[in-house]
Structure 1
Amino acid sequence: MIQGIFYARFFPQEGTKIVAQSPPGCIVPVPGASTTKPPLFDYGVLQEYIIPRQAFCNRYITVADPEGKYFVLGFPVSIPSPRYDRNEFIFNFGLVVDNDVDQVPYERVVRRLAVTFAEMEKQNGFLSQDVDAAESQARRPIQSLLEIVKEDLNNYGECMIPVGKYPPLPPLEFQYVTPQPPF
């Protein structure tokens, strides 16, 4: 079962930041939110693995939290282009799962998140552009997308979400099969 899902981005001036997370506060505390649960793990300790060195970008990675309770599964993406500061855009969509859960089914989900959002970024700057109020009516916020992905995957083992209308974006489709115990 997915305990948390997040979208992290590297900002040239500020470094790695968690931009969106579900449930709120599962990775980093949310200022002003009334969350009763503490974060799942110490973000400060694992921060360098959320957006790792260039050599680990565009690869599937798995990191265990220091307490051994959870695994963080990610596929950090680096998109080189002169249109970005420092000539690249770096982000990661990751999942947090219990340490005793089979990670194999989730690898496809993490890869699909990375590939889908990388393509959306290349096509129209979906992740890097600032969304104003008029445009926000035409697309869902990333926070909302993460909540839907987490809930649908946990409840149904699949997810399909229309992301926006203008410009047309492909729907997010994910599916994984939960391994069945041997009889």
Structure 2
Amino acid sequence: MLLTTLLWIVLSKVVLAQQNGDSVATQQTQVQQELQALKKDVVALNRALFVLEEDLLFPASTQVAVFVSLDIGRFFKLDSVELKLNDSEVVGFLYTDLQRRALEQGGIQKIYTGNIKMGTHQITALFTGKDNQQRDVKRAVHYSFEKTEDAVMLEIKIQDDSATHKSNFVVEEWIL
């Protein structure tokens, strides 16, 4: 019964299309074009919703973001990082070989985004890895910063130092 009804509807549309001078192929092309336009609208709407969500969850007046970058990585092979904000652990991350290579090739990882009040804050990052002689190494970097009404963006750089054959851990505050 259902199959008969569907067949009748399809045949009716074909007959109406032929009566109107439209071919089935023309109608299919129009439907495909409308579908493509609808897909583009959905992608644009999804992008706008993502931006709105970011603005609502992390407004600039309270936002702090922390990034990690790695120089060449000759003197420190990064295994993991633990990030503390005002003595509270906010994130920990264990690196795969692929992620480490991406950082060694100039990538920058956004490791944390959060909200904080205005005032003075301290961030601590504890890095574990291996030195160039394959010994286990733990290094920490501490940084105090002032949160104002603007977003705070901090980059923790692991930089090779050829003079000492060690890596330096430096925090740089981005000026927006």
Whether TM-score is above 0.5 comes out as no
Pair member with larger Rg = 2
Task: From the two aligned structures, give the one with the greater helix fraction.
Answer: 2
TM value normalised by structure 1: 0.27
Tell me: higher relative CO, structure 1 or 2? Use CA pairs within 8 A at least 6 residues apart: 2
Q: Given the two structures, how large is their TM-score scaled by the length of structure 2? A: 0.27
